[in-house]
Amino acid sequence: PDKAAGKDPGEIAMNQLNIGYFITCGLSILGVFLGSFLLLNGNNITATNGVPPWVWFGLAGTVGILLSIAFVFITQYYTAGTWRPVREIAAATLTGPATTIITGVAVGFECVALPVLAICVALFLSFFLGSQVVIHASNIPQIINPGGIFGTAVATMGMLM
């Protein structure tokens, strides 16, 4: 541990990485809205409630970026030594290899629940945001509104930023 700061150097480094990641996410949110404005501010797209269409798709992209932030927090929870999952596995090593394996497998099964839940919430929210926009195209029947599917695609791009 770093005697001067009173903190573990690894914790200080992770905090700095998180700050850089959050700044990048903020810039990405601005980029999603700018890209949505420049690319989707056309005549064949209308939105409900008087909100411009690019705002809805910008929000869908923001959902994807927030999902990537959720992934970072979930990953840190299950891999950093300061939280329960890693401490449980470390404590299991004191009793032998069998309990270590069982505890590790149990934590492995547990760790997929939160990401799956986060993905489901993001998919439904981005589909809802995208479906607020009606895309008029001659080759698409008016019964089908591809805005929701496009909203999930924009959220996926946001997650990858």
pTM, full prediction? 0.85
Single out the residue of 34, 56, 32, 61 nearest to residue 134, CA to CA. Answer: 56
Q: Phi and psi for 2 in degrees, rounded to 5?
A: -75, 115
Q: What is the mean pLDDT of the chain?
A: 89
What whole-number distance in Å separates Cα of residue 38 and Cα of residue 30? 12
Q: Does 4 have pLDDT greater than 80?
A: no
Contact 89, 103 (CB under 8 A): yes
Token representation of residue 66: 């927030």
pLDDT in tens, 105-139: 999 999 999 999 999 999 999 999 999 887 766 66
Question: Among residues of the chain, what percentage have pLDDT more than 70?
Answer: 89
Q: Does 5 have pLDDT greater than 70?
A: no
pLDDT in tens, 49-97: 778 889 999 999 999 999 999 999 999 999 988 899 999 999 999 999 9
What whole-number distance in Å separates Cα of residue 60 and Cα of residue 32? 9
